[in-house]
Amino acid sequence: MSVDWSWIADHTDDLTALTLSHLQAALTAVLLGLLVSLPLAVVAHRVRRLRGLLLGLSNVLFTIPSIAVFVLLLPVSGLTRTTTVIGLTIYTLVVLLRNTVEGLDSVPAKTKEAAKAMGTRPLRTLLTVELPLALPVIMAGVRIATVMAISLVSVATYIGDGGLGQLFTDGFQRNFPTPVIVGVVLTLLLALVADALLVTLQYVLTPWTRRQKQGA
């Protein structure tokens, strides 16, 4: 199984386009997942009776095979990027919702009480105290969800999308290993780079978690 380097050189434009399309599908799904899970997590955190229901529901959605999700979505959104993104979003929910709820749970009761006693109203407490303090746990979820979404995009090849996943079907159909290998390598690289960027983002957003003394 050798790599045909000239094929790579001839297809750099295609590869770039596929990589960008792949990344765009994954990131859109994670962002949508966050938008959906944030309010749901706040509800699950505040209303104990709904917590089990919401977390259970996200677990059930996660167990549906990914191809089945795309097939089920076809009558709704057809063979489009929308279908890919919705499908991926559903998968990100399980980690994002769970981690956001756990992040909110991890905020010390004393800190919330202090915010209230200073005269902070509930919405402002959520935005300026609870969510920032929950950020490390939420970001752990975002990292898992991002890597997961990047690896899952390929499945959407079955509905004519799939970003780098198209390289797998292409190589398989032609019994030509180079696109498959390139697809795997690029997917891995994407996941690694995205994860590194998220770690950096978290470092920038949570200065209080750094160990060393601030410049005295």
Partner 1 sequence: MQPGKGLLMIQFDTVHKRFPNGTTAVHDLTLEMPEGGVTVLVGSSGCGKTTTLRMINRMVDPTSGTIRVGGKDVLEQDAAELRRSIGYVIQQSGLFPHRTVVDNIATVPLLLGWGRRKARARAAELLETVGLSADTGKRYPHQLSGGQQQRVGVARALAADPPVLLMDEPFGAVDPVVRTQLQDELLRLQRELNKTIVFVTHDIDEAVRLGDRIAVFRTGGHLVQCAAPAELLARPADTFVADFLGAERGLKLLSLTTLAGVAKGPAPKGARWQLTLDPARKPLVWRDGESGTEIPVRPLRDTDSLLSALNESIAAPSGLVARVDADGVLTGVTSREDIHDRAGHVHSEASTVAA
Question: Interface with partner 1 by CB under 8 A: which residues?
Answer: 108, 110-111, 113-121, 124, 129, 132-133, 206-208, 213-216
Cα 167 to Cα 157: distance, rounded to the nearest angstrom: 9
The residue (of 16 and 111) whose beta carbon lies closer to partner 1 is 111
* Nearest-approach distance from CB 122 to partner 1, in angstroms: 9
- In the complex with partner 1, the residue whose CB is nearer, 136 or 177, is 136
We find the least distance from the C-beta atom of residue 104 to partner 1, in angstroms, to be 14
d(CA 180, CA 3): 10
State the nearest-atom distance from the C-beta of 128 to partner 1, in Å: 9
Task: Give the side-chain half-sphere CA count within 13 A for 34.
Answer: 17
Closer by beta carbon to partner 1, 16 or else 106: 106
Which residue type occupies 136?
P
The answer to whether the beta carbons of residues 70 and 8 sit under 8 Å apart is: no
Nearer to partner 1, 75 or 207 (CB): 207
Least CB distance to partner 1 at residue 112 (A):
10
* Amino acid type, 146: T
**Looking at beta carbons only, is 130 or 161 nearer to partner 1?**
130
Sequential DSSP letters for 17-44: HHHHHHHHHHHHHHHHHHHHHHHHHHHH
62, containing H or E segment: helix 48-63
Minimum CB distance to partner 1, residue 206 (Å): 7
